[in-house]
Amino acid sequence: MDISSISTAAERIKNGEIVAFPTETVYGLGANALDEKAVQKIYTAKGRPSRNPLIVHVLGATEAKQLTREWPQSAEQLTQRFWPGPLTIILKKNPVVPNITTGGNDTVALRSPAHPMARELLVQCGVPVAAPSANASGSISPVRAEHVRESLGDRTPFVLDGGQVPGGIESTVIDLTVTPPRILRPGLISAAEITQVIGSIDRFHEYVDTNQALPSPGLLERHYAPHTPLIISHTPIDDAKLALAARQSIGLVTCTKFGFESAECVTRGLGTTPAEAAHNLYEILHDLDQRKLDLIIVESPPPGEEWLAISDRLYRASIKAKN
Ligand code: TXA
Ligand code: MG
């Protein structure tokens, strides 16, 4: 671990600047969560609508409690079981947290990251760090330092480079201010795992047909979209053949890498488990998007709750970004 760049990053956070840093899920674009001017710089760099709230990163439950008005038993149980890790909890905010950090909401989203560089950064800067994913609003989250630079361009701040991150998709977000608690964004920690700890929850409703709209409470934006048109297909090989016959250049992503590759067809294997697929998903999409192909065809993931987070990200990627 490069300790000297971590101290540089920590100094910048303390001075009200923004920095990009790796977490175990995706790269974050961080600033002192309690400093309004610093947080404003995040929204500006991302081009993010100011009503879209940020996740505040803390070392653990002790630090999280200082930013909330209530600490329900569900928060205690979930943080004991899943922190540090890819679970974000939403609680009533303490007035010390500025409105800009929470997008004007009376609630605050909190997460304790597990990545050693993120943790060392939090130790050294000594403040809670507000950080959305370190990409321009509406595009795919970065899973490498290079993706941050490609997405933010000349708005790129100091980047702590931790290589490719292990997790690969954003944290599970659960709202603990409602009864029963409600999952707002599926992630690597599944509804089933959460239910085992706190009992009944309002699930992010399962859906089978990826062509159908998903409920997206708290997710105001179309997220995670590559520039290249992307379709999800139950018959990816047939669709690939049709596209190739129509002289399109394509990226073909199947669970197990499919054997034909040519100048017009770049193939990738997503992985056969949800964890593998999460690790590979954005890495593959960033790579294919750079190749300026006509179309990306992705095999529809298997049905079942453990694939929900992957299906959700793919569905969002299949919607063209605003710009
Ligand atoms: O894995 C992650 O969560 C990454 C890393 C950097 O920690 N961060 C991330 O942040 O994905 P972002 O800003 O891209 O997504 C935050 C999500 C948004 O969907 C936002 O609407 C929701 O959390 N959120 C944050 N605060 C909220 C609140 N008070 N109420 C409801 N939703 C909230
Ligand atoms: Mg994001």
Where are the strands (E) in the chain, listed by range? 19-22, 27-32, 55-57, 87-92, 107-111, 129-130, 158-159, 172-175, 182-185, 230-233, 250-254, 265-269, 295-299
Q: Quick check: helix, strand or coil at residue 133?
A: strand
Bigger pLDDT: 216 vs 133: 133
pTM value is: 0.93
Sign of CA dihedral 27, 29, 30, 34: negative
Q: How confident is the model over 28-56, as a mean pLDDT?
A: 95
Tell me: pLDDT of 218 over 80. Answer: no
pLDDT band at 216 (very low <50, low <70, confident <90, very high): very low
Q: What are the tens digits of pLDDT across the range 74-106?
A: 999 999 999 999 999 999 999 999 999 999 999
Ligand 2 geometric centre to CA of 133 (Å): 4
For the segment 33-56, the average pLDDT, to the nearest whole number, is 95
Q: What is the CA radius of gyration of the chain?
A: 19
pLDDT band at 277 (very low <50, low <70, confident <90, very high): very high
Q: Please give the pLDDT value at position 200.
A: 86
Whether pLDDT at 206 is above 90 = no
Ligand 2 centre and the CA of 259: distance in Å? 33
201 exposure class (CB count in 10 Å sphere: 0-12, 13-18, 19+): buried
What mean pLDDT, rounded, does the chain reach?
Answer: 91
Average pLDDT of the residues in 279-284: 97
Residue 274 Cα to ligand 2 midpoint, Å, equals: 20
Nearest to 226 by CA among 139, 311, 315: 139
* pLDDT classification of 320: cutoffs 50, 70, 90: low
CA-closest residue to ligand 1 atom 20: 53
Question: What are the residues whose beta carbons fall under 8 Å from the beta carbon of 185, sequence distance 6 or more?
Answer: 88, 170, 171, 172, 173, 204, 218, 219, 312
- 197, pLDDT greater than 80: yes
Task: Report the alpha-carbon distance of residue 143 to residue 138 in Å, rounded.
Answer: 15
- Return the pLDDT at 210: 37
Residue of 43, 88, 107, 183 to test ligand 1 pocket, by largest number of atoms within 8 Å of CB = 88
- For tokens 């995040």, the residue is 42
pLDDT of residue 222: 53
CA-closest residue to ligand 1 atom 7? 28
At residue 138, the pLDDT reads: 85
pLDDT band, very low/low/confident/very high, at 50 (cuts 50, 70, 90):
confident
DSSP string, 51-68: TS--EEE-SSHHHHHTTB
Distance 310 CA to ligand 2 centre (A): 15
What average pLDDT score do residues 244-265 get?
88
Residue tagged 């653990």 (tokens)? 60
Q: Is 90 in the pocket of ligand 1 (CB under 6 A)?
A: yes
CA-nearest of 147, 171, 164 to 25 is 171
Higher pLDDT, 2 or 181: 181
Instruction: Determine the pLDDT at residue 322.
Output: 42
216, two tokens: 């997206």
CA angle (314, 216, 82) in 5-degree steps: 80
Please tell me if the CB atom of residue 170 comes closer than 6 angstroms to any atom of ligand 1.
Answer: yes
Q: Is the CB of 137 under 6 A from ligand 1?
A: no
Provide the CB-side half-sphere exposure for 323 (13 A, CA): 5
Mean pLDDT, residues 266-287? 96
User: Is a pLDDT exceeding 50 seen at residue 168?
Assistant: yes
Q: What percent of the chain has pLDDT over 70?
A: 92
- pLDDT at position 220: 39
3 state DSSP class of 110: strand
Ramachandran quadrant class, 147 (left: phi over 0; alpha: psi -120 to 50; beta: rest)? alpha
Higher pLDDT, residue 153 or 321: 153
Atom of ligand 1 nearest to the CA of 187: 1
pLDDT band at 252 (very low <50, low <70, confident <90, very high): very high
How far is the C-alpha of 84 from the C-alpha of 93, rounded, in Å? 20
Cβ–Cβ < 8 Å for 178, 202: yes
Here the tokens at position 16 are 């009200």
| DSSP 8-state symbol, 193 | H
